[in-house]
Structure 1
Amino acid sequence: MDYAHQYDDKGKQPWVVDIEKETLDNQNFRTTMWTGEKLQMTVMSIPVGGEIGLEIHEGIDQFLRIEAGKGICEMGPTEDDLSFRKEVEDDDAIFVPADMWHNVTNIGDVPLQLYTIYAGPDHVAGTVHPEAKDAALDPNEH
């Protein structure tokens, strides 16, 4: 079964986008929209009570910006030590250092809409995960 649907990734070509509109209009858990050599941009919609999922990006810094909703951001040096914990909401930016365990959980009553920029790319270009379970079943995800 194909869990990673393809989006017409605009990467490696010049592109101007209304990132707020794309983020707010996105209904998928994840849509990878632009993949370059050293940068990647995805938009995400985390359902009420859902989460991105505890993860670490080896050698990759990450930036996330909340466009709608409310969540809890957790980070730490190990899976069992998420000592950094902060509520996030509209207009907040999250900076995740490379090699840092992190998760964002939706604690609001509407989907948590955000975009994220990876430096360098973390997903296969054009990846679309309609739901979190699709990301979990995608063999290209780690």
Structure 2
Amino acid sequence: MKGFVKDIESLAISNDAFRRVLYTARHCQLVVMALKPKEEIGAEVHQLDQFFRVEEGDGEAVLDGVRTAIHAGFAVIVPAGAKHNIVNTGSVPLKLYTLYAPPNHRDGVVHQTRRDAEADNEHFDGKTTE
């Protein structure tokens, strides 16, 4: 079967890696993330659009300096060029998934920790899942 058809909520909740790329298409990419208590993605700016959905935990979305509390069920859309960060403000892991449009990471990449992600200078190389 072409494409990706799976239970994203279960995949996001069961993921323990900081970042895990699940599927890369030509124009978008699906990634699950798990942030430890008090951990954050880190302030960044992309020249692409990004969507986040929280499946478990409590956190804060920071978009161009505006802080908003988020928890399971919340969606966040970050337009290209916006400085943003997601911070786990809770006492349990913050489980979420994100869609990049277009893709931002190398297909299939897994970063177990934020430190691993920061040490890896990888970027989308044009290769898709299929």
1:94-138 Cα shifts (integer Å, max 9, x gaps): 010011110011000100000000111010111100000000000
Corresponding letter in the other structure for 2:113: E
- Equivalent in the alignment of 2:61: 73
TM-score by structure 2 length? 0.91
1:21 and 2:3 matched = no
Which of the numbers 46, 64, 73 marks the counterpart of 2:52?
64
Gaps of 5+ in 1: 1-9, 77-81
Aligned to 1:91: 73
Q: 1:41-80 deviations in whole A, cap 9, x for unaligned?
A: 000000001001111111x11100000000011111xxxx
**TM-score using structure 1 length:** 0.84
d(CA) in 2 for partners of 1:46, 1:33: 17
Superposed CA RMSD: 1.2
**How many pairs does the alignment contain?**
123
Deviant stretches of 4+, over 6 Å:
none
- Displacement after TM superposition at 1:15 (Å): 2.2
Unaligned runs of 5+ in 2: 124-130
Work out the CA distance in 2 between the residues paired with 1:112 and 1:14. Answer: 27
Of all paired residues, the percent bearing the same amino acid is 39
Match of 2:87 in 1: 105
Distance across 2 between alignment mates of 1:71 and 1:15: 27
1:5-56 superposed Cα distances (whole Å, 9 cap, x missing partner): xxxxx9xx32211000000000100000000100100000000010011111
Q: Does 1:130 align with 2:118?
A: no
Residue 127 of structure 2 is matched in structure 1 by: none
Three-state SS of the structure 1 residue aligned to 2:12 is: helix
